[in-house]
Every structure is written in structure tokens, then in C-alpha cells.
Structure 1
Amino acid sequence: IVDYEKNPEEWIYLGDKPAIIDFYASWCGPCKMVAPVLEELAAEYDGQIYVYKVNTEQEQELAALFNIRSIPSFLFIPMNDKPQMAMGAMPKSSFKGAIDGVLLKK
């Protein structure tokens, strides 16, 4: 979604739809609570956004690149704006607000 090796100093999103990246770990309780909410939202907004999951234990370099210090952390990537990071488990209503307001600009 981003070629950080080619453009390490500049954020250039390569996707064709807005996205959410869920930075999680398999042992994280709040991450497990949020996972089904993200699955519901991925289905609800199918065709409008992407939802990616990054296991911070398996992808430590990627987690470090995004300065992930706590999990769960969520990166909201709009098409033409700077990405925004949110940390901690959030209710579905907060995700919907971010999707509609930040990603889809409704």
C-alpha cells in the first residue's frame, strides 16, 4: 500500500480506496475484542474501503516504521489527506465516525 523503501521520506498511498490498518498482536485482549467489529465494518463498507491487519510480532520492522508503541493501534488512510493514527480499542460507533468523516468524507 506504500513503498516506503522507494520513498522513505514521503507518504505516497498506492491504494485505490481509503484504508484502515489494524496493528495488533495475537496475545492482546483489546485487539481480540476489536477484531469482530472490524470484520463487520469491512463487510458493511465492502467496495468502499480496505481493512488490513498487521501482526506487530511478525512485522516488527513495519510496526517500528509506523511508530507503533501500543496496541491496538489503527491507521486511517484517506485517499488525498495525511493518514491519522488512533490508539486503543474503540467502539463500532467511533470507527464508523472515522470511516465516514475521515476516510469517505460523508
Structure 2
Amino acid sequence: MKKTIAFLMLAFSLTGSIYAQTEDQDKTDEEQGKVIRMNKEMFVDDVFDYTTGSTDWKYKGEKPAVIDFYATWCGPCRMISPILKSLAKEYKDQIVVYKVDTDKEKELSAAMGIQSLPTVVFIPKIGQPQIIVGAADKATFKRAIEEVLLKK
């Protein structure tokens, strides 16, 4: 019994430590202004107002956008997070990178048809959004940014 209690205490302390590190990393991203946490209200104001029932896509943003739909428990989501952070820094004057926690933003995730994680949506200034489902490498994301978001 003592071993079970000790094991549970260790498991809870490790879980808390991992969660705290994830939260600290997210706060660092926000402070640097590189990857922006997005909620439903921001999406409706800055990207597309899906609440009107309109299916005619018209992006509201000033710069092309990348939106990472993720969950904190998702291993592949954690794998691509530093890649997207790096790309946000690299393309800081050309695009904006957002992240949406699908567990906290269930309505938005459902409205966007998110069924698998991670799902990364590339939104050009003009035209339809394109997606990558699943983890990809930096070269694949760069190619999508160049071909979908920055094509002239």
C-alpha cells in the first residue's frame, strides 16, 4: 500500500512538473509576441466570423496566418510547437502564427472541422485555407508558407 501511494505521489508530481513547463513555455512565446494563443473571439474578430452562418470564406487579417490546432496531451503537437515558434520568428514581418487549444476551444475546433491533431491551417490573404494534418518537418512547413501564404 505504501508503495502504491508513493508511486501515485511521484506520478502526480511529475505530471504537475510537465504541465508547469508547458505553461511556462507558452508564456514565453506570448511575451515574445511570436506565437499567439487564439480563442473563439479572436478568431471571429481577426480571421473569419463563422457564427454568421456564411460559407463564403473571406479572411479578415492583415498578414497571412498559420493556425496550429493542438492539445497539451498530444505528443506530435508538442513536437511541432518549437518548429512553428522558429518559423514565426523567421517570418515575423510576413505572417502571423496562432495556436488554438482544441480542449479549451471545442466550438471553434468543431466549426473548423478539426478531427485529428495536430492540424495546421495555412490561411492566405486571398484564397482558401490549406491544411496539414499530423506532424511534419520544418522543410514541409516552410514549403507550405512559401507556396500557399507568400506566393506572388
Common fold: TM-score over 0.5: yes
Deviation at 1:7, TM superposition (A): 5.1
TM superposition shift of 1:40: 0.3
Which range moves more in the overlay, 31-40 or 5-14?
Answer: 5-14
Q: CA RMSD in A?
A: 1.1
Q: Any stretches of 5+ residues in structure 1 without a counterpart?
A: none
TM-score (norm 2): 0.67
Q: Distance in 1 between matches of 2:53 and 2:63?
A: 20
Gaps (5+ residues) in structure 2? 1-46
Structure richer in strand, relative to its length: 1
State TM-score, norm by structure 1: 0.95
Larger of the two Rg values belongs to structure = 2
Answer 1 or 2: which has greater helix percent.
Answer: 2
Aligned to 1:17: 63
Alpha-carbon separation, structure 1, partners of 2:54 and 2:99: 21
**Which 4+ runs in 1 deviate beyond 6 A?**
none
Greater relative CO (CA pairs within 8 A, separation 6+): 1
Report the secondary structure of 1:93's partner residue: helix
Q: Report Cα offsets for 1:56-100 as digits up to 9, x if no partner.
A: 000000000011110000110011111111100000000000001
**Corresponding position: 1:72 with 2:118:** yes
Q: Which residue of 2 aligns with 1:43?
A: 89
Equivalent pairs counted in the alignment come to 106
Aligned sequence identity (%): 53
Task: Please name the residue that 1:81 is paired with.
Answer: 127
Paired AA for residue 84 in structure 2: L
